[in-house]
Every structure is written in structure tokens, then in C-alpha cells.
Amino acid sequence: MQFGRTALRLLVPALLTLCTILPLGSLQAAGYRTANFIIEAPTEQLARRIGDAAEQYRHDLAIEWVGQPLPRWSRPCPITAQVAPALGAGGATSFVFDRGEVFNWTMTIQGSEERVLDSVLPHEITHTIFASHFRQPLPRWADEGACTTVEHPVERARQHRMLIEFLRTGRGIAFPEMFAMREYPADVLPLYSQGYSLARYLIERGGRRRYVAFVGDGLATDNWAAALGQHYGINDLGRLQTIWLDWVKHGCPAPPAAIAAALPSPQAWSPTARGQSPDPTASQHQPRPQRLATTAGRQSIYAMQAQRTQRQLPETSTADPFIIRR
């Protein structure tokens, strides 16, 4: 069975994002082609920057998440970029799964040049890495949450502030419900904030590759409690919700170093990075792209544990408790 899937990301309330999308074609003036991407952007310089950054992220983030670079795709992923200083940041990536393959990529990204390069692009590229690796849809929280962890610290801090607001106004999502969501809920923004926060909690304790292994086991067995127990030593979604909520209430403190050592030892992690329809003519030893000037200053994207910016929560009181609806 064939089905399409769109990984939608909204950095600002939906109405604002939709209102700020400019008519396609009005700004597109230049194209640029890399091994895996074809970029359309307002200027040739921007198209080149975005294309080179996309290749760099594709290489680096695949190593971060699955341990090795993706094989070259047989067909490049088109990226349509709208870039303007006041444009709301956001993106969407769509692809098709069919009989264990993934293909027909399309990606649209928009925002200021800075946000496109340091947040929207790595977020959307991570969607393609997960699609290539898992070859099936992930629970939305796990997909969007993990993709948000590679954004710039400013964007992650904003998600955290929104989470606090959602938790105080009854828009939190019960974990059993959240783990079962394969599509976006009507109230989509809490899913992003809460998914990001939980992904961050898990990744800070076990790293990105354990997170991928956990999601892979959850998908394979559809027993998320067992997968949690195997990888994080917590075998109950309700208990995880309680532990996570307590962590948020305490300002999301970094885990003690002993935590990672105490986690269950990894078993049968999948070391294989699978790319869709690998190009048989591509070299097995693709040269590592040169690190770009545009991304060299943004290594913080990969080092969230070291970038604990703006993470102090406002004072909490019993007058405005966090609420997770049932």
C-alpha cells in the first residue's frame, strides 16, 4: 500500500505562517544542484549556500543519528526556498513510502537566511534521515520532537517557553495518547513543544543513537513501554510522563553523569544507515563535504547538552499547576 506523508513544521502560530507564505515563483530566481538536492532560491548565492548546507547536514546529522552517512539518493530532493528577513520560519518535507522504499522527496523551506540555515534546514534534513532509516512513519512526537532538537538554541528555547504555557493551560497531551499519534492532532503546537521536550529528555540521557534504536524497537514491536524499558529503564508510559513532568517542573536540569552509565546496555542496535534507492554509480567513499563557513559557527546545533540557554523556568506555584489532559 502506498501512502504519502508530510512532515509539517510550524515555528509560529499556523495563521501567521500561512499568511507570510509568499506566492511560489515570485521570488525564485536561481537554481543550484548538489549530489542529493536541487535548490530553487531567490538568488544564486542563496541557492548555493542552502545546497551546500543541506549536503553538510545530511552527512553530519546522519552520523549523529544513525552512525554513518546516508548513501547517495538515486534522485535528488528538490528544495524550494523562500528567504526574506521578515518571513516566518517554517518548512515541510513530503515523501512516499512503498514496500520498504522511500522516494519522491520534496522540501519547501522559508524564513530569514539565518533561520533557514541554522534551524529549518537541519530540521527538515533530519526528517529525510529518519525516513531513509526507518522506512515507515514515526509517531509524530518522536519525529517532530527529534527534528526540533537540531534547531538553533533560540528556537529550542522558544519551544520550551511554549510548552510551559501549554502545560499551564490544559493543552498538555497524555503520554499514552501522544505515543499513539501517527497524524497531527488538531491542536498541533503542543505536540511540537512536548515532543521536543521529551526527545530532549531522552537524548540527554542516552544520546541520539540510543534514541533511534528506541524508536526502531518501538516501531518494530508496537510495544513502546517495552522499548522504553529496554533503552531507558522505564517500562511504563504513565511513569515516564510523571518523571518527565517533574523534570520540566524543576527547570530541565542536566542529568548527572552517572545516569548514562546506569542505562541498560544497548542490545542489537541497528548500525545500518539506509538511504532510499542508493545510486549504484555513486562512489562508496564519497568525499566528506567541506565544512561551510555558514554552518561552522553553528556547531551548537549538535551540542544541545552544552547549550542550556534560557532554560530557567518561571516560578511555578500551586495556583497554576501543569495540567496533562486525559
Contact residues: Zn ion, CB under 5 A: 7, 9, 144, 147
Q: How far is the CB of 138 from Zn ion (least distance, A)?
A: 11
Q: How far is the CB of 90 from Zn ion (least distance, A)?
A: 9
- The C-alpha cell at 104 is 519522491
- Full DSSP string of 252-319: -PPPPHHHHHHSPPP-S-------SSB-TTS-SSPPPPPPPHHHHTTGGGG-GGG--TT-PPPPP-TT
Query: Phi and psi dihedrals of 231, rounded to 5?
Result: -100, -25
Using Cβ positions, the residue closest to Zn ion within the complex turns out to be 9
- Full DSSP string of 59-78: HHHHHHHHSSPPPPBSSPEE
Please identify, using beta-carbon distances, which residue of 72 and 208 lies nearer to Zn ion: 208
Please identify, using beta-carbon distances, which residue of 116 and 225 lies nearer to Zn ion: 116
Residue whose C-alpha cell is 543550484: 32
Please identify, using beta-carbon distances, which residue of 52 and 144 lies nearer to Zn ion: 144
- Spatial separation of the C-alpha atoms in residues 133 and 179, rounded to whole Å: 20
Q: How far is the CB of 65 from Zn ion (least distance, A)?
A: 14
Q: How far is the CB of 230 from Zn ion (least distance, A)?
A: 26
In the sheet where 30-33 sits, what is the strand order? 3-10, 90-98, 101-111, 77-83, 37-41, 30-33
Q: How far is the CB of 236 from Zn ion (least distance, A)?
A: 28
Q: How far is the CB of 142 from Zn ion (least distance, A)?
A: 11
Please identify, using beta-carbon distances, which residue of 134 and 232 lies nearer to Zn ion: 134
Name the residue among 147, 84, 128, 146 with its Cα closest to residue 110: 84
Please identify, using beta-carbon distances, which residue of 77 and 225 lies nearer to Zn ion: 77
Please identify, using beta-carbon distances, which residue of 9 and 156 lies nearer to Zn ion: 9
